[in-house]
Structures are given as C-alpha cells and as structure tokens.
C-alpha cells in the first residue's frame, strides 16, 4: 500500500511537532497551548482531530478550495472592463483610488492580482541595485529642504513641453512645486520665493551641482577674492544673503527623496491632469495649487519627530524682490549708460548723483522684469535706451525723404592705410584716352 503524502507548511509542521510532544507526555496541554498561542480548549480539539484523521488534521480545511469571501466573477469582469476603458495605463494603487471614487470598492492587492492575471499589469521584478547607506529624516520641519527640476511630458500631447520645479521638506515631505517652460535661474528663484513666502527661511537647502546652483568657472570676482569668498552663482548668492546653508549632492541617490517624488508625480500627477483635461502651463499650475498640493498635504506628508518648526521669518532688511534677482557688475559710461547682453540702459537725469560717472555698479534684474542700478547702497531707476538709427547710404548718394542734412549719413572717403610709393598708378597724372574715331592732335600729347 502506497504511503499518503501530505504537503505541510512550516507553520503546520511546527504545530504537528508540538502535538506529538503532548501525545508522548513531553509537554502538558497548558504548556503546548502557550507555545502555539491558542487556548487549552482549542488544543484539545486539535489533539482529537489528530487521533481521528492523523497528521492531515493540521492542514487547513479550505486548502485548494475557493475562499468563501471571494468577490463575484461578474464584479471582477466589471472592474476589468472599467480599467480597460479609462485606466488602462494606471497602476493598481492609483486605479483602486479612482475606482473607489466611482463607488467600486476593491483593495489594491486584489486589483493587482486581477490585472496581472488579465495581462493589464506586469509584475515588477526586483533588480539588484548598488547599496547606499540609508539616511534618517531630519528631525524638524524646515531643517532641510530639497530642490530639483524634472523635464517630462507632463501635459503629454495636449499641451507644450514643460518642466516641474519642486521643493520638498526632508522631515515631513511637505511639497511646493511649479510648472515652468524652461529651467532657468529666474524660475528657480521664483520657486524658492514661493516656499519662503509660505513657510519662511529653512536652515539648509539641498540641491545637485547644476550650474544654476554652483558657479561653474570657479573664479570669483576681484571684490569677492579680496574678501576671501568663493565664486557663487546667482542662486548661491541669494541663499547667502538669506542666511541659508547650501548643501550639494554628489549623486542622484544622495537626494533620493526628491528623485522618488518625481517618480510618483510622473505617474500620479500626469494621469490626474489627463482626467481633468489640463492642456496649458497656467491651467496646470492652477490645478497643482488648488487640487493636487492640498491632497498631497493630507495624504502623503508625515509627522516630524520634533514638533518644532525650524523655519525662520524674514528679517526686516531682507527684501525678497532685491535678493531673488539676477545681478551683474558693470561700469557707468561717461553718458551715464550701462550695457548688458547687448542692450543699453540709461540713468534718468533726475536720478544722476555725484560720483556716478565711471563708477563700478551692479545691474539688478528682478523677477518682475524691472531693471535697477545698485550704487553705494542706493537703487537708481534704469530706462531702456532706444536703438541708434542705422546709417543709410543710397547707391546714388541721395538722402531718403525726411532725412535732414545733419542726420543724413555721409560717404566715407577711402584713405589708404599704408604708404603709397611714387611709382604707384595713383600718383601718376591723369591721361585722356581717345577713341580711334576721334581726331587727335599729336602735339598736345606728352
């Protein structure tokens, strides 16, 4: 007679071993019940089942049978049909959230099993990655924030290509973000200004080593070298004036919190905007501010270990419109004008002060587009100089209508740059050349 084979799990083998020890009088029923974490009555019930049916009594009775609490097959087909119709590229977690909003309650793990079995979702394989040391979150809100940008087809094919600049707190995962057309210094300063106006000045700012945050050339200006300071970018200069420490990340894994944030947003935010029909950057920023960020605040932020807020308020002398700007050093010309990027700016007559002509100054371009001149801790207004009139020379030397003699361009007389020798044809006298049909007086010829 062939011996019956019973497939037992590790938990069932451990339970069977304890029951055998009770039968062999090695353990009492009270001791065995404590070891198995069951009551004395249930232990006696297990011993009776083993005496009647043998070792197969420890196997659960529903093994190999469908669960009594399983969902109906018709409900499963209804869920899968709805996913194919509207949420085909959604993950199980996000799809379960939207289905719950429609009144179709199903757990994400059940939905994941259904989607994998139907071929809608593919189970992800765990890849072997480089081991990085885990870093604990900061203790207080505002102790350190991270900033980065992500170029992505956020609006898919409905709108223009754009980038998302985000700032996230390390202790609580509180988020502030903006959609921009290009990742520039001004847009990063504007995003930083949004965080400062909402929460205040953090203690440290964590970014990568992009040229927006770190000066590439490494050579500081003469004034900075005399003060013993290193070269700073416009963003770094703004952080120094705000009293915020700048920390540079040496690898993408070092700023993994904001990298994982972009991975989440590229899945959730893109699909949320698709369902809302967002097709422009302005509409995307409005959706982000009024709908997505409040929902993120409610669901994904965590409580810091320390309830203290490490943000500091702005000082009275720290004016954001002056600090969050782009500045360049220039020298004032004799006509009280300065130039920047091929554009000339002039100081109005009423703003001219003593010592301005030939002085070393700074041009400040603020985020609202206005330009100012910093001179001896004073701000002078700048006006755009109109482009000079280009010279016009007619092929026949005539002035165009409406052009006076004073403003009419004159022809330049060509003067040789080098010395012309006497034997050069230019220095020989002019001779008239007669045509063959003309009468010539030979005596007049030389």
Residue among 291, 279, 207 at smallest CA distance from 244: 207
Contact in structure between 292 and 269 (CB atoms under 8 Å) = yes
Strand pairing of 383-384 and 343-346? antiparallel
Distance CA 420, CA 234 (A): 56
The overall longest dimension of the chain from CA atoms, in Å, is 158
In eight-state DSSP terms, residue 306 is S
Enumerate the β-bridge partners of residue 361: 330
Q: What is the mean pLDDT of the chain?
A: 84
**Tens digits of residue pLDDT in 50-76:** 888 888 888 877 777 777 888 888 999
Residue among 140, 141, 136 at smallest CA distance from 174: 141
Backbone φ and ψ for 418, nearest 5 degrees, come out as -110, 165
Mean pLDDT of 432-442: 51
Q: Which residue has the higher pLDDT, 377 or 208?
A: 208
Query: Which pLDDT score is estimated for 398?
Result: 52
- CA distances 101 to 37, 97, 114, 155, 256, Å, are 41, 7, 19, 23, 31
User: Is a pLDDT exceeding 80 seen at residue 338?
Assistant: yes
Query: Which pLDDT score is estimated for 202?
Result: 95
Length of the chain: 446
Query: Which pLDDT score is estimated for 132?
Result: 62
Mean pLDDT of 257-276: 93
**Tens digits of residue pLDDT in 12-52:** 888 888 888 888 888 898 998 998 888 989 989 988 888 88
Q: Which residues are CB-neighbours of 207 under 8 A, at least 6 positions away?
A: 146, 147, 148, 213, 246, 247, 248, 249, 255
Query: Which pLDDT score is estimated for 442?
Result: 47
Distance CA 129, CA 245 (A): 31
Q: Going along 171-243, which residue ranges are E strands?
A: 175-180, 204-207
Contact in structure between 378 and 322 (CB atoms under 8 Å) = no
By the 10 Å C-beta count (0-12 exposed, 13-18 middle, 19+ buried), 8 is classed as middle
Six token digits for residue 303:
């409580």
Residue among 178, 199, 198, 168 at smallest CA distance from 300: 168
For the ranges 63-72, 345-354, 435-444, the one whose mean pLDDT is highest: 345-354
Residue among 356, 405, 409 at smallest CA distance from 380: 356
The Cβ of residue 203 has, within 10 Å, a number of other Cβ atoms equal to: 16
Query: Which pLDDT score is estimated for 399?
Result: 54
Is the pTM higher than 0.85?
A: no
The Cβ of residue 68 has, within 10 Å, a number of other Cβ atoms equal to: 6
Q: What is the DSSP string of 332-376?
A: --TTSEEEETTEEEE--GGG--TT-TT-EEEEEEETTS-EEEEET
**Tens digits of residue pLDDT in 352-407:** 888 888 899 999 999 998 999 999 888 998 988 876 655 555 555 555 555 555 55
Distance CA 362, CA 359 (A): 10
Class of domain 145-299: alpha beta
Contact in structure between 327 and 336 (CB atoms under 8 Å) = no
By the 10 Å C-beta count (0-12 exposed, 13-18 middle, 19+ buried), 27 is classed as middle
Enumerate the β-bridge partners of residue 113: none
- CA distances 51 to 46, 47, 48, 54, 55, Å, are 9, 6, 5, 6, 9
The Cβ of residue 392 has, within 10 Å, a number of other Cβ atoms equal to: 11
CA atoms within 13 A on the CB side of 317: 3
Contact in structure between 178 and 288 (CB atoms under 8 Å) = yes
3-state SS assignment for residue 245: strand
Can you tell me which residue has the tokens 């004016």?
Answer: 319
């Amino acid at each position: 007679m062939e011996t019956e084979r019973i497939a037992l799990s590790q938990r069932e083998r451990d339970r069977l071993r304890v029951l055998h020890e009770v039968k062999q009088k090695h353990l009492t029923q009270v001791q065995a019940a404590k070891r198995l974490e069951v009551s004395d009555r249930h232990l006696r019930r297990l011993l009776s089942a083993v005496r009647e049916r043998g070792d197969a009594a420890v196997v659960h009775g529903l093994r190999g049978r469908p669960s009594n609490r399983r969902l109906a097959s018709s409900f499963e087909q209804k869920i899968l049909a709805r996913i194919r119709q509207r949420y085909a590229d959604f993950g199980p977690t996000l799809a379960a959230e939207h289905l719950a909003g429609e009144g179709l309650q199903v757990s994400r793990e059940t939905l994941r099993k259904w989607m994998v079995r139907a071929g809608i979702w593919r189970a992800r394989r765990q890849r072997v990655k480089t081991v990085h040391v885990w870093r604990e979150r900061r203790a207080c809100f505002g102790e350190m924030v991270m900033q980065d940008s992500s170029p992505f087809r956020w609006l898919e094919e409905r709108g223009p290509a754009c980038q998302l600049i985000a700032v996230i707190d390390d202790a609580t995962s509180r988020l502030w973000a903006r959609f921009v057309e290009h990742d520039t210094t001004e847009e990063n300063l504007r995003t930083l200004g949004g965080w400062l106006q909402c929460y205040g000045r953090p203690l440290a700012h964590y970014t990568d080593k992009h040229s927006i945050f770190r000066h590439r050339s490494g050579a500081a200006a003469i004034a900075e070298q005399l003060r013993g300071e290193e070269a700073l970018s416009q963003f770094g200069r703004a952080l120094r004036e705000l009293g915020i420490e700048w920390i540079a990340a040496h690898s993408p894994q070092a700023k993994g919190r904001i990298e994982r944030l972009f991975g989440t947003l590229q899945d959730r935010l893109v699909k949320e905007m698709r369902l809302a029909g967002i097709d422009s950057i302005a509409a995307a920023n409005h959706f982000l501010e009024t709908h997505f960020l409040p929902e993120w605040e409610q669901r994904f932020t965590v409580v810091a270990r320390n309830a203290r807020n490490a943000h500091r308020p702005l000082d009275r002398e720290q004016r954001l419109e002056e600090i969050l700007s782009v500045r360049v050093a220039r020298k004032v010309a004799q006509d009280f004008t300065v130039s920047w990027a091929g554009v000339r700016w002039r100081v109005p007559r009423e703003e001219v002060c003593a010592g301005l002509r030939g002085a070393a100054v700074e041009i400040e371009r603020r985020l609202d587009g206005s330009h100012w001149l910093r001179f001896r801790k004073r701000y002078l207004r700048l006006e755009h100089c109109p482009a000079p009139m280009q010279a016009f020379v007619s092929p026949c030397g005539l002035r165009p209508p409406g052009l006076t003699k004073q403003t009419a361009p004159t022809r330049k007389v060509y003067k040789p740059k080098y010395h012309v020798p006497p034997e050069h044809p230019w220095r020989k006298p002019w001779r008239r050349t007669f045509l063959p049909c003309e009468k010539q007086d030979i005596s007049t010829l030389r």
